[in-house]
Amino acid sequence: MNEVQYPTASNPYERLKELGIALPRPPSPIANFVTHVQEGNLLFLSGQGPQEANGYLHTGKVGIDVDPDEAYEHAKLTGINLLAVMQDALGDLSRVKRIVKLLGMVNAASDFGEHPRVINGCSDLMMAVFGDAGRHARSAVGFGSLPNNITVEIEAIIALAE
C-alpha cells in the first residue's frame, strides 16, 4: 500500500492538484435513486463504487480475485467518485465542514478479514483532501456480493459549513 500523502495546500482544490487528482464527472445512479440528498446542513451521499472516468468498473471478490492492496486503490477511486458527487451537489468543496461518516462495504471472500485496511483507501483520501475536517467515523464491513460484482461500495455523510 502507498504511504498516505498529506498535501500542504490550504484548500481542497489545491490539495487535489498536489495529489494529481482531477475530479471526473459524477457517475450516474444505476437504479431508482439520486446520488445525494441534502437535509439541513447534512449531505447524504449514495453509495459509489470503483468506476473509472471511462465507465470501467473494477469487479471481483476481495481475497480471491483481488488482493487487499488493489482493493485499497479501488476504495481510493471510490472516494474520488464521492468527491465528484460532492462537487456536483455543492458547487464548491470548500463548503464541506467535515466528513462525518463513511460506510465502506467490501465484496469479500467469507474468510477475508482486512475490510478496514481496504476502506482506508477512501479514508486516507478524505484526510489528504480535507485535513482534520476529513477525520470521520466509519464502518468497514464485508458482503457476500455487491451490485455488478464491484469490489467496494462506499457511502458518506457530510456536514456543510453554514
Domain boundaries, the chain: 35-160
Over residues 97-149, the pLDDT tens digits come to: 999 999 999 999 999 999 999 999 999 999 999 999 999 999 999 999 999 99
Residues 4, 75: Cα–Cα separation, whole Å: 14
d(CA 84, CA 119): 18
Task: Please report where in the chains the cell 489528504 appears, as a residue.
Answer: 128
Q: Is the dihedral of CA 133, 136, 142, 143 positive or negative?
A: negative
Percent share of the chain, pLDDT over 70? 94
- Cα–Cα distance measured from residue 144 to residue 54, given in angstroms and rounded to the nearest whole number: 27
Quick one: CA dihedral 130, 136, 142, 143, positive or negative? negative
What per-residue string of b and e applies to 87-112 under the rule 16 or more CB within 10 Å gives b?
bebbeebebbbbbbebbbbbbbeeeb
Average pLDDT score over the chain: 94
Note the pLDDT tens digit of each residue in 38-82: 999 999 999 999 999 999 999 999 999 999 999 999 999 999 999
Q: Domain 35-160 sits in which CATH superfamily?
A: RutC-like (3.30.1330.40)
The answer to whether residue 9 scores a pLDDT higher than 70 is no
- Collect all residues with Cβ–Cβ distance below 8 Å to 63 and sequence separation of at least 6: 108, 109, 111, 112, 114
CA atoms of 13 and 130, how far apart (whole Å): 10
Amino acid letter for position 62: V
Question: Helix, strand, or coil here: 150?
Answer: strand
